[in-house]
Structure 1
Amino acid sequence: MAEPRVSHVEVDPDDAGMRLDRWLRRGFPDVPLGALSKIVRTGQLRVDGARVKLETRLEAGQSVRLPPQMTGGATAAPSGPVSGAAGDAAALEAMVIYRDEAIVVLNKPFGLAVQGGSGISRHVDGMLEAWRDKKGRKPRLVHRLDRDTTGVLVIALKRSIAAALAETFKGRDAEKTYWALTRGHPSPDEGRISTWMGRDPRDSEKMAVLPQKTKEAQRATTLYETLDRSGQLSLLRLSPVTGRTHQLRVHCAHIGVPIIGDPKYFNVENWALPGGIQNRLHLHARHITLPHPDGGTLNVTAPVSPHFHQSLTVLGLSPTGG
């Protein structure tokens, strides 16, 4: 067997500005930080032939010298997709509704968390490990959806694209449209909801509309429009102007039309679901429009989830537009 040799890896343009320690931890997740620190401190790892520190920021095109004990002759990045839970790559592919060289848009299903947390073993962020490329780059989340909310979820394939999209969402340049099936009819049929919102003082797991601005409360604004009705139920189009936690769910409950299947905010007593409608959250991220970081505009619409589609069919709802 050939002896391991020194390897040289060129810094990818997408990694420009990244700290060396972070770059190394990404490429060598199984090597303890203490060992990496010693390799850098003793000059065994060099950048463009010069000794560096862990906090050194890399520049595109630089050559990183990796000693034999780090690589065994390999490159700095994992050589191919990192295996996650069985079927993660296939499951992600089944969700794809748009893809280009910079962005993938998923149609997230009901019950799949976007990120990890207490009691969550499988989530989109973890599944994205299966999509690491040959340079070790993992696609990045740029916004969130609640676990039981379905629909449009934007994923950046490059760090620079993720940073640009984060600014787009932060600056409210992304226009998001949701569909919600609610119990009751809003009055008027369309309008604007603007409140202060913060943690519910009676239940820290929930959000609530608060009577006035406080240290914890933030302004939350939602535009809504009734698309169709059936009996006691309404199909609404919701457009969040702000992006507070549980905003749409709280706002619908606040104006007296809670979303069907909402385990936190649907509190209508002595009311049963019509036959054929599942007791699942009927909130769907239907459409997104945003400036594409590479130019032009991204417009993506996500078909409704199976349980939402079943409800629309049972109720005979036929929304126009959306």
Structure 2
Amino acid sequence: MRKIVFTEAPVISVLYKDEYIVVIDKPSGLLVHRSEIDRHETLFAIQLTRDTIGQHVYPIHRLDRPTSGVLVFALSSDIARLLSEQMQNHVISKKYQAIVRGHCPEHATIDYPLKEILDKKSDKLKDKLAEPQSAITTLTRLDIAEMPFASGRYDTSRYSLVELSPITGRKHQLRRHMAHLRHPMIGDTTHGDGKQNKSASINLNLHRLALVAKSISFDHPVSHQPLTITANLDTSLKNVYQKLGWQKWYF
């Protein structure tokens, strides 16, 4: 999969905003914030959201660079603290959609500890021999497809559309858990299958990680009313869903 390169700043789509929080639909390929790994990058979701709404924003959680979808920011440090407490207490619910290889189980709870992924630069002082950390993901299969082209040793290619909900929040948790199940995400160049990725690029015109943070649910930090915010699929994923006969899952 080729790396997404922005020739100009992407337009930030605001899904929800009030005087306390703002929720955006992060494009695939956009970093949430500055990183030692990509020191030469100049575009970040924090900066672009701030410029879009004209206010300083405080990140509550993160999405990997290739993942698109719902991203929440607080508009003050006090609100950031309240939302961070909800995150730490596991009362914020997140649902993702992913396209994976093969026809996976209809339902599963993946309880598979993961070792922390350490960056050579920013994490050089951390314990490389630390024990794996608890990691739990629930899976629901939404749909399946079988396409008349090869992506490995078989003449056809099978895919599943899955809904994933992380109970814990480890780095690359969803991608690593699906690889553990032998149903890697399509477009995952780190934990996925190169042959599957190449076939999807050629036959489905998919050139990104097939993972989207579809929705997030939490209690508003001030009104305490339940909120659920849902992201759209970008055009590239909509086209893939259409080819696989999954149009009903656009929204």
TM-score > 0.5, shorter chain as reference:
yes
What value does the CA root-mean-square deviation take over the aligned residues?
A: 2.6
CA contact (8 A) 1:261 1:279 kept: yes
| Structure 1 residue aligned with 2:168 | 242
Unaligned runs of 5+ in 1: 1-86, 206-213
Cα gap change, 1:104 to 1:200, in 2 (>3 Å): closer
CA contact (8 A) 1:284 1:305 kept: no
For 1:286 and 1:200, the matched residues in 2 are separated by 25
CA contact (8 A) 2:232 2:250 kept: no
For 2:53 and 2:205, the matched residues in 1 are separated by 39
1:272 aligns with 2:199: yes
CA contact (8 A) 1:223 1:239 kept: yes
For 2:24 and 2:249, the matched residues in 1 are separated by 23
Among residues 80, 88, 99, which one is paired with 1:162 in the alignment?
80
What secondary structure is seen at the aligned counterpart in 2 of 1:165? helix
For 2:44 and 2:101, the matched residues in 1 are separated by 30
Cα gap change, 1:225 to 1:204, in 2 (>3 Å): farther
**1:226-241 alignment to 2 at 5 Å?**
226-231=141-146, 232-241=158-167
**1:97-246 alignment to 2 at 5 Å?**
97-117=15-35, 118-119=37-38, 120-130=41-51, 138-186=56-104, 188-199=105-116, 215-231=130-146, 232-246=158-172
For 2:220 and 2:190, the matched residues in 1 are separated by 35
Alignment length, in residue pairs? Answer: 220
For 2:233 and 2:50, the matched residues in 1 are separated by 26
TM-score w.r.t. the length of structure 2 is: 0.80
What secondary structure is seen at the aligned counterpart in 1 of 2:72? strand
CA contact (8 A) 1:226 1:234 kept: yes
CA contact (8 A) 1:131 1:138 kept: no
* Divergent runs of 4+, >3 A: 268-271, 318-322
Q: State the structure with more CA Rg.
A: 1
CA contact (8 A) 1:178 1:283 kept: yes
Percent identical pairs in the alignment equals 34
| Structure 2 residue aligned with 1:313 | 242
TM-score w.r.t. the length of structure 1 is: 0.63
What secondary structure is seen at the aligned counterpart in 2 of 1:197? coil
Unaligned runs of 5+ in 2: 1-7, 122-128, 147-157
